[in-house]
Structure formats: C-alpha cells, structure tokens
Amino acid sequence: MRCHEVDYDIIGHDMQIVEVELDPQETVIAEAGAMNYMNGDIHFESKMGDGSQPEQGFFSKVFSAGKRMFTGESAFMTHFTNHGTQKQRVAFAAPFPGTIIPLNMAELGEEILCQKDSFLCAALGTKIDIEFNKRLGSGFFGGEGFILQSINGDGMAFLHAGGTVIKKELNNETLKVDTGCLVGFTRGIDYDIEMVSGLKSMVFGGEGMFLTTLQGTGTVWLQSLPFSRLADRVIASAPSAGGNAQGEGSVLGGIGRLLDGDR
C-alpha cells in the first residue's frame, strides 16, 4: 500500500507542533492524544492498527495491538481523515518539550528504527511495528531496552525528540553516544551497547556504565535532552515532602533548606 501524500508545516522552535494538510479523503495516523487542533471537516476514529494492511484479519490486528500494549503504548491509533471537499489541516504535538523530525521515508530506504516512544504521526499507509532487539547487551543495558519501533513506508512520518536534534551521516564509521540520546537510525546502521572501560570512569565519570555504539553507513538522529534525563532533574530539584523549599536558584531557598536540616 502506497502512503498518502500529505503536506506539512512545522510551527515553533522549542516546543514544536506539526500541522499536516490533508486533501479530500486523505488520512494521517497518530499516537493517541497527540492532536492539538483540526479543521471542521476532519473526522477522527480510533482503530486497532495503523491501516497499512486493510486486508489484515481481526486476530492479526489483535496481535499487533497486543505488541504495542506490551511496550507501554496504546493498543489503538487515531486515524484523521478529511471528509470535506477542500484542503483541511490537523496539528499534532509531542507530550514533552523538544523538536519534531520530519522524515521523507522514500528518501531513507523506506524504513527506520527508532525509540519506541518517539513516533508522533505519519501518512496513512505507513506501517508502525515493534522490533525486539536481538542482542542481550543492548536489551539489558540500552536506554531503549529490548524494544525498538520500526517505521516502514514511502510517505512522510514524524518523530519527536527532547531538546535539540542532531543529524549524523555515517560512512562506514563508528559513533558512540549516551544510551538515552539516540532517537532513530536507518537500516544500514548496526546498533549495540558496550561497557565503559575503566572502573574509575564507571563510578566517578557521571556518564553511566554503558554507551550505545552505532556502526555502518546511514543516518542517525540524536537528541540533546532525553525526557528521562529531564524528568530525573525535575525530581531531584523538587521541593521536599514538607513543601517549604524555595526554588533552586533562590538564595533564600538554599538558606531555608540549611535551616530546615534538608542539607
């Protein structure tokens, strides 16, 4: 099934949204809860599956939905279709601050692998599936865990990432990154996890015990601020249970914590 040909605009800088333009009877699929706004002639419907295989039977759809639930994603995807006679627009946003990555899948070999929570939306006809990492090292210690998401198709797809996005083109090269900073990569890239050398570096380096190693030829997308890192920082800076602590940057806050015995 060929993907629908959708146009789009990305709006904003630090907290972006993507506005997708649909011709009559065109459809875009998205993760549940990603929609911001839409024109009046666009109708949406939650379906079990991405719609890339209309002939797929009921049990196949249930199996696919079960795999998505296993990864913590919703069993359903939302399909937005333009039922009007004019072009209509629908907008989507990521659930945390960051950048949206537009992908012309026809120019990327029609397949990429990405973190399981990075997919935002795509033109109908795009297949969204789960891929289990075959390497135990990657599974146990990688920030992406056992599970990656595969995106297949020849149309537009959109990922979201935390902070700034860095695009790297590898030509039979090796790139080592923090395990949580990887967003996605094309099929020509071999993905594995390796342990940091040296006990002192592991314990005192502050970079963790493992790094993601990417080797081969293809495209890699990285994020400067993984959501897990942002969440850890917010939790570490949160007020104490008593609720008396001031902001981290406040002088009174630091004195108050000292007087309260928090430090």
Taking only the tens place, the pLDDT of each residue in 51-89 is: 876 656 555 656 555 555 555 566 688 999 999 999 999
Q: What angle is formed at CA 215 by the lines to CA 211 and CA 221, rounded to 5 degrees?
A: 75
Burial class (CB in 10 A: 0-12, 13-18, 19+), 21: middle
Q: What is the pLDDT of residues 170-206, one digit of tens each?
A: 999 999 988 789 999 998 899 887 766 654 444 444 4
Alpha carbon 2 to its chain's center = 23
Q: What angle is formed at CA 148 by the lines to CA 143 and CA 153, rounded to 5 degrees?
A: 145
Query: Dihedral sign, CA of 199, 200, 203, 207?
Result: negative
Instruction: Kindly report whether the global pTM for this prediction surpasses the value 0.75.
Output: yes
Instruction: Report, in angstroms and rounded to the nearest whole number, the Rg of the chain calculated over CA atoms.
Output: 21
- Topology, domain 7-231: Double-stranded beta-helix (3.60.160)
Q: What is the pLDDT along the chain (263 residues), one digit of tens a residue?
A: 689 999 999 999 878 999 999 999 999 999 888 999 999 999 999 987 788 766 565 556 565 555 555 555 666 889 999 999 999 999 999 888 889 999 999 999 999 999 878 999 999 999 998 876 655 454 455 444 557 889 999 999 999 999 899 999 999 999 998 878 999 999 889 988 776 665 444 444 445 567 888 999 999 999 998 887 777 778 888 776 445 544 444 444 554 454 444 54
